[in-house]
Amino acid sequence: MCDTSMIIHRITCAISHDRYHNITKLLPELGIQSVLIENGRTVRRRRHARLFGLPGYTERLDNSPVDLYQFSVAPVISETVIRRLADALHLNRPGRGTVYVQECKALLNIADAHIAPPDDTRHRLPGLLQNLSVITCIMSMSGSGEELAKLALELGTGVPVVSLGLGAGLRERLGLLRITVPAEKEVVRLLVPALDAEGLMRMLIEKGHLNRPGKGFIYCNPVLCGLLDTALLVGPQQHAATMEQVVAAIDELEKNTAWRRRFHELDHDAKFQLQPHHDEITIICKEEAAGQYVETALQAGATAATNAHLQRVTFDKTAGGARERYTFIVHRSITEQVLGALRQTCDKAEVQLDCLEVQPVNFAFAYRTESQ
């Protein structure tokens, strides 16, 4: 086991399922040896003219399949990689997809990419946005992700990306009675301007009723830089450019999204106590082999875990296949304790972890019972 602790940059990219071949061709060119793929969907509002030429429009939500690609690179090359990626896939245009970079501390990582990509100055560098955050909301009731996505669209920040997950934690401790509690979760990810993140979170908590028991929880991670998909609304329009195109153009000029800030410090009421000082611990390993690790983490103090199925696609000779990722949100005071326990298990366990990463969480919120 390589017991190192190093800073890496994790790149997450949500792109239409139709561009699978483009991206898997591009990544090895950038020196990326393997990528984790998760299935997801983006939700947009779609506006139709009414049937039979009746005046006005009808609107509904439209789902399109996306693949969530995730890979890690050395910090020095992350910007080059993301720019090449954004350029090749035209991610600076609304509707093409979302990409963002996050800084993580990797305690174990079967090194993904440390090879600097060939320096290519010919490509146009799209303006990357700084000062972003990613809000992740884990909704317990199936179908409630849809409501939250709709809400996010109405708030008009960026296109939400929804994926599926399974919850583990309290459910496991119910015995056979657990079958009455659905394990399926919908995970809604939303890339937002960092300045608005707190306000948006409060709004999502209130409108999504996350302050009630059993609804789910929400947290927000910092993002170094990225590109948002702003094609929130699809349909007929009367101007030379869509509002989304205008927004994207100004974003690019300004290099940030502060100019369209929605919330101010004064707006923040004390209705919900957002909890700071949390960390997100992520483990990834072969499918159906994580049981031991999850148990360890839960015993070491983590309250719940969210599981997702991933596909590891490799471009070299190493083995790909099904992977599963468990994410724990823990208070910073017990982070080291959980990490230590996980490392110990890793030393003894038969199946090694592919990766063990920690990332700071700006704010988290969950309904708390008295017992907690």
Partner 1 sequence: MLKTRVRIPFSVALRMIGDYAGDRLRTQLKAVAFIVIYLVAFQMLVFGSAPQQALRMAGGIGLVVLGLTLFLEGLLLGLMPLAQRVGIQLSSRGGLKIILPIGFLVGLGATFAEPAVAALRAVGSDVIAWEAPLLFLMLQQKPEWLIAAIAVGVGVAVSIGLLRFYLGFSIKPLILTVIGVLLPLSFAASRLPNLASILGLAWDAGAVTTGAVTVPLVLALGIGISRSSGKAERAVSGFGTVALASAFPVLAVIVLGALLLPRVPAPSGEREFFAPENREQAIYLFGNEEALKRYAFEHGSDDTRILFSDKDENVDQRNLAEAPADNHVRTTFHTILRSELSYAAQAVLPLTAFLVIVLLLLLRERPRYIDEVFLGIMFVLVGMCLFTTGNRIGLSQLGNEVGSRLPQVYRDVQVEKGQIAIDNFDSSMLHPAVGRDGNKIDVFHLLDGETVQVVKFRPEWYDPDRLIYTHRVQTSALRHPELSRVGVLLILLFAFGVGYGSTVAEPALSALARTVEDLSVGTITSASIVRAVSIGVGVGLIAGVTRILYDIPMIWMILPPYLLLFPLTLVNDEDFAGIAWDSGGVVTGLVTVPLVLAMGLGLSGELDISDGFGILAMASVCPIISVLIFGLVARLRRRKVALAAEGVNDNV
**Choice between 76 and 179, CB closer to partner 1:** 179
Q: Where are the alpha helices (DSSP H) in 89-128?
A: none
Q: Is 348 a residue that touches partner 1 (CB under 8 A)?
A: no
Q: Is 95 a residue that touches partner 1 (CB under 8 A)?
A: yes
Q: How far apart are CA 94 and CA 271, in angstroms?
A: 35
Q: How far apart are CA 308 and CA 326, in angstroms?
A: 7
Judged by CB under 8 A, which of 9, 10, 44, 215 binds partner 1?
44
Minimum CB–partner distance for residue 352 and partner 1 (Å) = 14
Minimum CB–partner distance for residue 279 and partner 1 (Å) = 22
Q: Which amino acid is at 224?
A: L
Site for partner 1 in 129-158 (CB under 8 A): 146
**Choice between 16 and 359, CB closer to partner 1:** 16
**Choice between 96 and 331, CB closer to partner 1:** 96
The token pair that represents 152 in the structure block: 């996010």
> What does the radius of gyration of the chain's CA atoms come to, in whole angstroms?
21
Q: How far apart are CA 167 and CA 215, in angstroms?
A: 12
Q: Is 64 a residue that touches partner 1 (CB under 8 A)?
A: yes
Judged by CB under 8 A, which of 313, 334, 337, 360 binds partner 1?
313
Judged by CB under 8 A, which of 75, 301, 320, 360 binds partner 1?
320
Q: Is 1 a residue that touches partner 1 (CB under 8 A)?
A: no
Specify the stretch interacting with partner 1 by CB under 8 A; choose among 126-134, 238-246, 260-268, 341-349. 238-246
Give me the DSSP letters along 256-324: SSGGG----GGG--SSS--B-SEEEEEEEEETT--HHHHHHHHHTT---EEEEEEEEEESSSS--EEEE
The token pair that represents 253 in the structure block: 């000029």
Judged by CB under 8 A, which of 113, 134, 168, 355 binds partner 1?
168
Judged by CB under 8 A, which of 241, 259, 273, 336 binds partner 1?
241
Q: Reduced to 3 states, what is the DSSP secondary structure of residue 237?
A: coil
Query: Which stretches of the chain are assigned E, i.e. beta strand?
Result: 6-16, 34-49, 57-73, 97-109, 129-139, 161-168, 184-193, 216-227, 233-234, 278-286, 305-314, 321-331, 355-361, 363-366
Size, binding site for partner 1 by CB under 8 A: 63
C-alpha distances (whole Å) from 246 to each of 83, 231, 240, 241, 251 are: 21, 11, 10, 7, 9
Q: Is 40 a residue that touches partner 1 (CB under 8 A)?
A: yes
Q: Is 59 a residue that touches partner 1 (CB under 8 A)?
A: no
Q: Which residues bind partner 1 (CB under 8 A)?
A: 16-18, 20, 24, 39-41, 44, 46-48, 62-65, 67, 93-96, 146, 162-164, 168, 170, 172-181, 231, 234-237, 241-242, 244-245, 286-288, 291, 294-295, 298-299, 309, 311-314, 319-322
